[in-house]
Structure 1
Amino acid sequence: MDYKKILDMMLDENDFTVGGGCASALAGAMACGLMGMVANLSKGKNYGYEDEKYDAIIKELNDMKGKFLEGSVNDNKAYLLIVNAYKLPKLTDEEKQERRKAIQNAGVEAANVPLSNALLNKRTYDIGRDLLEKSNPAAITDLQAGIDLAKVGIDAGRANVLANISLIKDEKVVEDLKKQLKNLD
């Protein structure tokens, strides 16, 4: 994965394929980086966890960081599914039915991707909160920045899910998505 390309894309005000879902994922990746740094700076000292616990936290954060970067790309792809679905022809009844189905499928994907990113941000947020009392106090501002970024990621992901729910006509799918959003509280 070309991370420089992802960042360039995210920062390009003329790229209309990038939105809040991508931002949610990148906020989470940044949060993971900051929290991992804090965990590293807490090793070898008596801040509440053994080094093995910090190492486990760092490993989990690194794994999630990769998932967030992938989630950013997936959010961009989901948006393009919507764009392409709306471009489908709608002259005949059959074309209209295929177009509606494509929009519905794209909407489901465009809601599931930011939901996944938001849930990952929730886990990141929880890790940060756990580290608050068990990490190097000299790095507290970095940890707080990570916690704040994870919260932004949760909120942006939730908003992105809600924005895409309107494309989904299957009430069971909508109900399930709304139920899963409650896991973000």
Structure 2
Amino acid sequence: MTLEDVMARIYDSKDFTAGGGAASAVAAAMAASLVSMVARLSVGKQCGLSDEVYEKTAAEMDEISLLLRDGAVRDLEAFLDMKAAYALPKVTETEKALRREAIGKAAYVAADVPRRNALLALKVEHAARDMKGRSNGNAGSDLEVGAVFARAAVGGCLANIRANLGLIKDPERVAELEAFLQETEMGMETDGVEEQKAGKAE
């Protein structure tokens, strides 16, 4: 499975295998590349941060973009594994039990993949916010798009985690994921309030 395979399935509205999780990872990967580009365009321009910071940010965002592209592939693979678990036989009680267990395990992976992608997307959103007003002004719209994509990607990943929670049978894993959802959502709300205050101050 390659990223090109994932993209083809996302664009094909008749294909039901690649959905919001994979699309969120792709959006975050694009966001990371945009933030990296803006950082590179800010080197030597004395925009408010040191060239070392811009170069470090660019390198980190390039790496994260690659991880998120892989994350899109893993999201699709997780869905296909879930689909395979649902296709297991369920005639005997033993088969039913094995099928339930397989679905629960697949559901956890299907929730864990977007969690990992959400963490990466959050790093992109934070990097974009850190450079706001302190990067090459000619690429301001690119930075804004990166920030919007990254934030949307986090929301998309969280939605996919939530969609799989009910299928996970291990209460500890459910609690772990619920805690992550709550912490991340609260953090995003706090960031949004702080950004609004900063905008008013400007």
The bucket for the TM-score relative to the shorter chain is over 0.9
Unaligned runs of 5+ in 2: 188-202
Q: Tell me the alpha carbon deviations over residues 17-54 of structure 1, each in whole angstroms, 9 at most, x when there is no partner.
A: 10111011001011011111111111111111222211
Q: Give the 5 Å matches for 1:19-58.
A: 19-58=19-58
Contact (CA 8 Å) 2:3, 2:73: kept in 1 or not?
no
Deviation at 1:95, TM superposition (A): 0.5
Q: What amino acid does structure 2 have at the position aligned with 1:179?
A: A
Residue of structure 2 equivalent to 1:152: 152
TM-score (norm 2): 0.88
Asked if 1:76 is matched to 2:81, the reply is no
| Alpha-carbon distance in 1 for matches of 2:183, 2:50 | 30
Q: Percent same amino acid among aligned pairs? A: 40
Shift of 1:11: 1.2
Q: What corresponds to 1:143 in structure 2?
A: 143
Q: What one-letter code is carried by the residue in structure 2 that aligns with 1:157?
A: C
Higher relative contact order (CA 8 A, sep 6+): 1
Deviation of 1:8 after TM superposition, in Å, equals: 2.0
In structure 1, the residue corresponding to 2:69 is in which secondary structure? helix
**SS at 1:48's partner residue?**
coil
Secondary structure (helix, strand or coil) at the match of 1:89 reads coil
Provide the C-alpha distance between the structure 2 equivalents of 1:120 and 1:169, rounded to a whole number of angstroms: 26
Give, as a single letter, the amino acid of the residue that structure 2 aligns with 1:62: D
2:195 paired residue number:
none
Which amino acid in 1 is paired with 2:182? K
Find the aligned partners of 1:77 and 1:4 in 2 and give their Cα distance: 14
Q: Which runs of 4+ in 1 moved over 6 A?
A: none
Match of 1:64 in 2: 64
Q: Following TM superposition, by how much is the alpha carbon of 1:59 offset from its aligned partner in structure 2, in angstroms?
A: 0.7
Contact 2:3–2:70 under 8 Å retained in 1:
no
Q: 1:9, CA displacement in angstroms?
A: 2.5
Report what 2:97 is aligned to.
97
Equivalent-residue separation in structure 1 for 2:3 and 2:97 (angstroms) = 38
SS in 2 for 1:83: helix
Conservation of the 8 A alpha-carbon contact between 2:121 and 2:150: yes
Question: 2:107 maps to what in 1?
Answer: 107
Distance 2:92 2:2 in 1: 41
In the alignment, the residues of structure 2 paired with residue 56 and residue 10 of structure 1 have an alpha-carbon distance, to the nearest angstrom, of: 32
SS of the residue aligned with 1:44? coil
Tell me how many residue pairs correspond in the alignment.
Answer: 185
Letter of the structure 2 residue corresponding to residue 181 of structure 1:
L
1:113-163 deviation line (CA, Å, top 9, x unaligned): 011111111111000000102101111111010000001100000000000
Shift of the alpha carbon at 1:10?
2.1
- Considering only aligned residues, what root-mean-square deviation do their CA atoms show, in Å? 1.2
